[in-house]
Amino acid sequence: MPLLTIKNCLDPVLRKTCLPIENIDGELVTLAENMVETIRAAPGVGLAANQIGLAQRMFVINIGVETDKENLITVVNPEITTMEGNELGEEGCLSIPDVVAEVNRASQIEIKGYDLDGNEVHYEAEGYLARAFQHEMDHLNGILFWDNLAKMKRDILKRKFKKKIKEQDA
Ligand SMILES: [Zn+2]
């Protein structure tokens, strides 16, 4: 299966509010499979559809996939139904390579959506999985993990990211 190109944060698609998916068809399943391959190869924790250029509401989560393939989660049209507590923790993003920062997130969440068979799914998550869900939900709303940081902190990270991109292009 082909690996997909991951867009970086300079691409305007990362700022799009993604649209609900109306049909869960073969094309979508293939896309999800390619996203899974892409995230495993990266490797990364999560990948939202707009990160590969498609402004639609779907993401894949890949926690502990090195040891257990069952930990791959694909959610179509996800919605967070409950958020509780808060927790500071380190985050990175495949669209902002080599940049990590401490981000405040709800420590416990509930999420609902659909799987690739069109069945309604429901997850209760805490800690790192809750963080991953919130990070990917943000992507679907055009938000990047550094948006909530203080401007000064964000500017430092942006400079780091731009330097990294320059090195990659060189
Ligand atoms: Zn991300």
Is 136 a known active-site residue? yes
| 64, pLDDT greater than 70 | no
Q: How far is the CA of 93 from the centre of ligand 1 (A)?
A: 4
Residue 66 has pLDDT above 50, yes or no: no
Q: What pLDDT, on the 0 to 100 scale, is given for residue 40?
A: 87
Q: What single-letter amino acid sits at 130?
A: A
The pLDDT of residue 65: 44
**Cβ(59)–Cβ(49) under 8 Å?**
yes
In angstroms, the CA 137 to CA 111 distance is 10
Beta carbons of 161 and 9 less than 8 angstroms apart: yes
The whole-chain average pLDDT of the chain stands at: 93
Q: Which of 27, 121, 8, 13 is nearest to 72 (CA)?
A: 121
Question: 17-34, pLDDT tens digit by residue?
Answer: 999 999 999 999 999 999
Q: Name the residue ranges covered by the structural domains of the chain.
A: 12-169
Average pLDDT of the segment spanning 36-55: 94
CB-CB contact of 16 with 32 (8 Å): no
Q: What residues sit around ligand 1, an ion, with C-beta below 5 angstroms?
A: 93
Give the per-residue pLDDT at 77.
98
Strands (DSSP E) contained in 85-159 are 87-93, 96-105, 108-114, 120-126
For ligand 1, the distance from its centroid to the CA atom of residue 162, given in whole angstroms, is 16
12-169 CATH choice from 1.10.10.10, 2.40.420.20, 3.40.980.10, 3.90.45.10: 3.90.45.10
At residue 2 the predicted structure's pLDDT band, cuts being 50, 70 and 90, is: confident
pTM: 0.93
Ligand 1 centroid vs 134 CA: distance in angstroms? 10
The pLDDT score that the predictor gives to residue 168 is 81
- Catalytic one among 66, 110, 120, 136? 136
pLDDT in tens, 79-130: 999 999 999 999 999 999 989 999 999 999 999 999 999 999 999 999 999 9
